[in-house]
């Protein structure tokens, strides 16, 4: 029989129940038992929802109090020494969040998602053992509720490959022989408890593998395949590509493949499947669109014909962790728009409908298929989605639109003449403290308890105050403070056509933190100017140059759920054209410096290096389209944080921003090496203040950082600024730090 399977379900709760419980527990408002109760309820709800949806294969151990990679670290007893005195939840949360005495472990993005995992720290003296039987406990817990689950484990090779070595000369994979016995012991226990199958996730199979990683996979599964339960190896976020032979040759009983990102791999997978069960990832686990079930059935049917129904499973492409929980909790969406969408709960229905149809024909799930076909047809034709004017403009956009009129050297001279800034100009990245009163006013305004006029007056007052403080601090290039913005993507999405917003569409970002990405459903255009009034108002308050602040097209794309009916590149270009209009209008309004933030440019890089160039080409072009319409004397800035640059320098240079500000203070200006090595020609503002920390840096430390910077980049091309925006900081630290920053710039100027 064709089975309907799931790989993982969101754990945060449809109403973010787990978030609330975690945060109350961390605050000390509730005890451990209360947290455990909420977590257990959440697991029970998830299992029940999946059983009720008719799933044949339901996962366990997909739940986590923080992160599944950290769970694996805890299970292996791979606890760094600095947490040695702690145990249980205290140790677990200390690793995730740090304590006064011990810094948290590093956190980084999980493949190309917006989910962050806790990076394992691998050291040579680590004694690994089965320190926690959480996966077994979860299996038994579900069994106690009458649900026989397929436990999920993060695979040993991916766990190691994502880790960072803390010992000289040690590669994380060197620890494989210490990790495998622990996995084998656990798998043995799971088999004994009755688990017939175990899902092991090895998402690194969708990346370029090193020889050592490929070898580790071979060795790992030669061992683990003997350990007890049948293993289904889950790969996702991309095709297997050149790892296909490796993946299909591993001695496991099943293989899950992502056919949303890589439908073209189906025939190769089927041809090499041997006697494996193949799980077809046909329902998009990374996006919120209702599936095209007829199209998916075409692929599923091919698999059933090749392997027979008993060796085929239908599943989401990856864990449903990356989509919101339940579309039924969206009262504001109209019926048509709703008919285009599927959140986790609805995707379960799609998986079962598809599995039944793959076995018995479309008629077995006629209602689901008809609804799917209707959604496909309506999305193809809807005037809410398709705007011929936008499409025509997009088609008429050429590389010329992405180029400034003159080369940088000429623009630089024109800008210097126009702006008359001192050497080492000082500025900030955009936002200033979003204090309690700002948040409160916004909330009241949203609720209708504060009139538009009163809210506008309040924001103007904050902006006036912010500009006055910057003048007093002696900054050279000012910003308005971004008090009117809740979020750098949402603010623009709400003003653009083609975007929609959900009420409860939360997705876990890290720990208890969730994001609610906008939905880009249609052709994007800008009905009205978005920031011009604020920029004009702020500029009217000062003689110094006021930066116009915009979010770039790639970042808007990257932090949204993006329509899947046209290439991302096309959607990005439409956003770029809308931003271009805003840039034009800002210039016309007398704004002489415009900053277009692209913090997400790097994280958009595809998983496979071979795909990087084509992404970078269109991403850079989009930035160009957005920024290029201005005169030479108008200065374009961009800002990027958390990025490494060495392997994307040609693209950064091709963006051709007059000034780029980057996060460098924590890395001690190391990131500048890439710019120096590349002979990056334009101006750079390396951050001299780590705004993620409440610490106020003194003048000397910032002067020191500036000297370091000046050692790799000629001082006449340097700007002086913090690492990022200041919205999470308080005014006292901001004023103190910026006072020091301005002093540091003046000190260095005197040395020129």
Where does 145-240 have alpha helices with state H? Answer: 156-161, 176-193, 211-224
Q: Exposed/middle/buried for 752, CB within 10 Å: 0-12, 13-18, 19+? A: exposed
- What DSSP letter does each residue of 118-142 carry, written as one string? EPPEE-TT--------HHHHHHHHH
Query: Encoding tokens for residue 3?
Result: 């089975």
577/641 with CB nearer ligand GLN: 641
430 interacts with, out of ligand GLN, Zn ion, none, CB within 5 to 8 A per kind = ligand GLN
149/627 with CB nearer ligand GLN: 627
Query: Encoding tokens for residue 639?
Result: 């800002």
3-state SS class at 111: coil
Residues 82-121, interacting with Zn ion (CB under 5 A): none
Q: Does residue number 643 form part of the binding site for Zn ion (CB under 5 A)? A: no
Residue 711: CB atoms within 10 A of its CB come to 11
476 interacts with, out of ligand GLN, Zn ion, none, CB within 5 to 8 A per kind = none
429 close to 609: Cβ distance less than 8 angstroms: no
Residues 615-644, interacting with ligand GLN (CB under 6 A): 639, 641
Query: Which residue stretch of 30-38, 96-104, 189-197, 639-647 sits at the interface with Zn ion (rule: CB under 5 A)?
Result: 639-647
Smallest gap from Cβ 547 to Zn ion, in A, equals 14
Q: Does residue number 475 form part of the binding site for ligand GLN (CB under 6 A)? A: no
Smallest gap from Cβ 442 to ligand GLN, in A, equals 15
Closest CA relative to residue 560, chosen from 481, 492, 615, 480: 492
Distances (CA, A) of 103 to 36, 81, 118, 132, 442: 25, 11, 13, 23, 34
Query: Which residue stretch of 206-214, 448-456, 520-528, 718-726 sits at the interface with Zn ion (rule: CB under 5 A)?
Result: 718-726
* Binding pattern for the stretch 431-450 against ligand GLN, x by CB under 6 A and - elsewhere: x-------------------
Query: Which residue stretch of 87-95, 252-260, 278-286, 425-433 sits at the interface with ligand GLN (rule: CB under 6 A)?
Result: 425-433
Instruction: Considering the candidates 445, 668, 692, 740, report the single residue annotated as catalytic.
Output: 692
204 interacts with, out of ligand GLN, Zn ion, none, CB within 5 to 8 A per kind = none
Residue 306: CB atoms within 10 A of its CB come to 16
311 interacts with, out of Zn ion, ligand GLN, none, CB within 5 to 8 A per kind = none
203/433 with CB nearer ligand GLN: 433
Q: Does residue number 556 form part of the binding site for ligand GLN (CB under 6 A)? A: no
Q: Does residue number 172 form part of the binding site for ligand GLN (CB under 6 A)? A: no
What length is written for the chain? 752
Smallest gap from Cβ 687 to ligand GLN, in A, equals 11
The reply to whether 308 sits in an annotated binding site is no
Residue located via tokens 């003046």: 746
Smallest gap from Cβ 325 to ligand GLN, in A, equals 27
Q: Does residue number 152 form part of the binding site for ligand GLN (CB under 6 A)? A: no
Q: Based on the residue annotation, tell me whether 637 is a catalytic residue of this protein.
A: no
Query: Which residue stretch of 26-34, 255-263, 540-548, 721-729 sits at the interface with Zn ion (rule: CB under 5 A)?
Result: 721-729
139 close to 60: Cβ distance less than 8 angstroms: yes
The reply to whether 602 sits in an annotated binding site is no
- What DSSP letter does each residue of 374-441 carry, written as one string? HHHHHHHH-TTT--HHHHHHHHT--GGGGS-SS-HHHHHHHHHHHH-PPSS-B---SB----HHHHHH
Which letter, b or e, does each residue of 639-674 get, where b requires 16 or more Cβ atoms within 10 Å of its Cβ?
A: bbbbbebeebeebbbbbbbbbbbbbbbebebebbeb
Among 206, 641, 653, 710, binds Zn ion (CB under 5 A): 641
341 interacts with, out of ligand GLN, Zn ion, none, CB within 5 to 8 A per kind = none
19/727 with CB nearer ligand GLN: 727
Q: Write out the H or E segment, with its range, that includes residue 660.
A: strand 659-662
Among 59, 239, 254, 430, binds ligand GLN (CB under 6 A): 430
8 interacts with, out of ligand GLN, Zn ion, none, CB within 5 to 8 A per kind = none
Smallest gap from Cβ 547 to ligand GLN, in A, equals 9
Smallest gap from Cβ 429 to Zn ion, in A, equals 6
β-sheet with 230-234: strand ranges across: 3-4, 312-316, 277-283, 254-258, 230-234, 197-201, 150-154, 59-60
Q: Does residue number 59 form part of the binding site for ligand GLN (CB under 6 A)? A: no
Instruction: Count residues binding ligand GLN (CB under 6 A).
Output: 13
The reply to whether 466 sits in an annotated binding site is no
Smallest gap from Cβ 152 to Zn ion, in A, equals 34
Among 173, 257, 488, 724, binds Zn ion (CB under 5 A): 724
* Binding pattern for the stretch 605-624 against Zn ion, x by CB under 5 A and - elsewhere: --------------------
Where does 566-634 have alpha helices with state H? Answer: 568-588, 612-627
431 interacts with, out of ligand GLN, Zn ion, none, CB within 5 to 8 A per kind = ligand GLN
List of residues 6+ apart from 434 with CB closer than 8 A: 483, 727, 728
The reply to whether 559 sits in an annotated binding site is yes
List of residues 6+ apart from 381 with CB closer than 8 A: none
Q: Does residue number 149 form part of the binding site for ligand GLN (CB under 6 A)? A: no
285 close to 315: Cβ distance less than 8 angstroms: no
Alpha carbons 421 and 463: distance in angstroms, whole number: 23
Distances (CA, A) of 398 to 66, 402, 403, 618: 46, 7, 10, 11
Query: Encoding tokens for residue 243?
Result: 């790892």
488 interacts with, out of Zn ion, ligand GLN, none, CB within 5 to 8 A per kind = ligand GLN
Cα 503 to chain centroid distance, Å, stands at 20
Residue located via tokens 């912010």: 466
- What DSSP letter does each residue of 321-379 carry, written as one string? GGS-S-GGG-TTS-HHHHHTB--HHHHHHHHHHHHHHHHH-GGGGHHHHHHHHHHHHHH
- What DSSP letter does each residue of 208-226 carry, written as one string? PPPHHHHHHHHHHHHHHTT
Q: Does residue number 547 form part of the binding site for ligand GLN (CB under 6 A)? A: no
Alpha carbons 636 and 275: distance in angstroms, whole number: 59
Q: Does residue number 552 form part of the binding site for ligand GLN (CB under 6 A)? A: no
List of residues 6+ apart from 668 with CB closer than 8 A: 705, 708
660/706 with CB nearer ligand GLN: 660
Q: Does residue number 481 form part of the binding site for ligand GLN (CB under 6 A)? A: no
Q: Does residue number 539 form part of the binding site for ligand GLN (CB under 6 A)? A: no
Beta bridge partners of residue 283, listed in sequence order: 316
241/552 with CB nearer Zn ion: 552
Residue nearest to ligand GLN (CB): 725
Among 597, 632, 658, 690, binds ligand GLN (CB under 6 A): 597
Residues 582-601, interacting with Zn ion (CB under 5 A): 599
Closest CA relative to residue 321, chosen from 534, 59, 71, 136: 59
Q: Does residue number 325 form part of the binding site for Zn ion (CB under 5 A)? A: no
Residues in touch with Zn ion (CB under 5 A): 599, 641, 724
* Residue numbering of the annotated binding site for L-homocysteine: 429-431, 482, 597
Binding-site residues for Zn(2+), in ranges, read 639, 641, 663, 724
Enzyme catalytic residues:
692
Binding residues for L-methionine: 429-431, 482, 597
Q: Which residues of this protein are in contact with ligand GLN, per CB under 6 A? A: 429-431, 482, 488, 549, 597, 599, 639, 641, 724-725, 727
């Amino acid at each position: 029989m064709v089975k309907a399977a799931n790989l993982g379900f969101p754990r945060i709760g449809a109403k973010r129940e787990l978030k609330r419980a975690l945060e109350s527990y961390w605050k000390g408002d509730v005890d451990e038992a209360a947290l455990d109760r909420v977590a257990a309820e959440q697991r029970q709800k998830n299992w029940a929802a999946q059983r009720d949806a008719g799933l044949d294969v339901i996962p366990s151990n997909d739940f986590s109090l923080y992160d599944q990679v950290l769970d694996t670290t805890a299970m292996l007893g791979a606890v760094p020494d600095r947490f040695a005195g702690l145990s249980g939840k205290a140790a677990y949360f200390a690793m995730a969040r740090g304590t006064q005495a011990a810094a948290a472990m590093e956190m980084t993005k999980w493949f190309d998602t917006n989910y962050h995992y806790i990076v394992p720290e691998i050291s040579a003296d680590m004694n690994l053992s089965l320190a926690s039987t959480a996966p077994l406990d979860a299996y038994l817990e579900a069994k106690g509720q009458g649900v026989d689950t397929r436990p999920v484990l993060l695979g040993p090779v991916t766990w190691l490959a994502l880790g960072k070595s803390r010992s000289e000369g040690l590669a994380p994979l060197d620890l494989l022989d210490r990790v495998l016995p622990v996995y084998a012991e656990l798998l043995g226990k799971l088999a004994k408890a009755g688990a017939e199958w175990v899902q092991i996730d090895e998402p690194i199979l969708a990346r370029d593998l090193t020889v050592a990683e490929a070898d580790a996979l071979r060795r790992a599964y030669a061992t683990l395949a003997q350990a007890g339960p049948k293993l289904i190896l889950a790969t996702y976020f991309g095709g297997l590509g050149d790892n296909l032979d490796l993946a299909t040759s591993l001695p496991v009983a099943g293989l899950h493949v992502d056919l949303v990102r890589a439908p073209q791999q189906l025939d190769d997978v089927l041809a090499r499947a041997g006697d494996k069960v193949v799980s077809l990832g046909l329902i998009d686990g990374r996006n919120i669109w209702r599936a095209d079930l007829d199209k998916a059935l075409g692929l599923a049917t091919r698999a059933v014909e090749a392997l027979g129904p008993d060796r085929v499973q239908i599943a989401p492409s990856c864990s449903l962790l990356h989509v919101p929980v339940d579309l039924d909790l969206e009262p504001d969406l109209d019926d048509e728009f709703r008919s285009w969408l599927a959140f986790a709960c609805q995707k379960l229905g799609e998986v079962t409908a598809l599995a039944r149809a793959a076995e018995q024909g479309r008629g077995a799930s006629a209602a689901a298929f008809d609804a799917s076909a209707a959604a496909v047809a309506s999305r193809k034709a809807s005037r809410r989605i398709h705007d011929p004017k936008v499409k025509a403009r997009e088609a008429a956009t050429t590389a010329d639109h992405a180029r400034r009129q003159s080369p940088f050297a000429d623009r630089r001279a024109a800008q210097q003449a126009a702006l008359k800034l001192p050497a080492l100009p000082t500025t900030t990245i955009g936002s200033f403290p979003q204090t309690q009163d700002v948040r409160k006013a916004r909330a009241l305004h949203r609720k209708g308890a504060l009139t538009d006029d009163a809210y506008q007056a309040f924001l103007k007052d904050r902006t006036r105050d912010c500009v006055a403080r910057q003048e007093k601090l002696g900054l050279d290039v000012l910003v308005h403070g971004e008090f009117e913005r809740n979020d750098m993507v949402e603010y623009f999405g709400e003003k653009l056509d083609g975007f929609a917003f959900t009420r409860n569409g939360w997705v876990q970002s890290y720990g208890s933190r969730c994001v609610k990405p906008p939905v880009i459903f249609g052709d994007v255009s800008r009905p009205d100017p978005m920031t011009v009034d604020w920029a004009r108002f702020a500029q009217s308050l000062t003689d110094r140059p006021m930066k116009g602040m915009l979010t770039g097209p790639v970042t808007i794309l990257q932090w949204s759920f993006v329509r899947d009916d046209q290439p991302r590149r096309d959607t990005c270009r439409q956003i770029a054209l809308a931003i271009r209009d805003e840039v034009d209008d800002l210039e016309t309004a007398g704004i002489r410096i415009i900053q277009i933030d692209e913090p997400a440019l790097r994280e958009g890089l595809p998983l496979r290096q071979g795909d990087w160039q084509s992404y970078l080409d269109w991403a850079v072009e989009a930035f160009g389209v957005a920024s290029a319409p201005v005169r030479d004397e108008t200065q374009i800035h961009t800002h990027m944080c958390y990025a490494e640059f060495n392997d994307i320098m040609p693209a950064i240079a091709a963006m051709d921003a007059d000034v780029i500000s980057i996060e460098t203070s924590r890395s001690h200006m190391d990131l500048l090496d890439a710019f120096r090595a590349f002979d990056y020609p334009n101006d750079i503002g390396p951050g001299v203040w780590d705004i993620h920390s409440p610490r106020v840096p003194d003048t000397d430390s910032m002067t020191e950082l500036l000297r370091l910077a000046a050692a790799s980049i000629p001082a006449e091309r340097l700007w002086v600024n913090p690492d990022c925006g200041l919205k999470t900081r308080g005014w006292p630290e901001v004023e103190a730090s910026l006072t020091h920053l301005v002093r540091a710039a003046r000190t260095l100027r005197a040395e020129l």
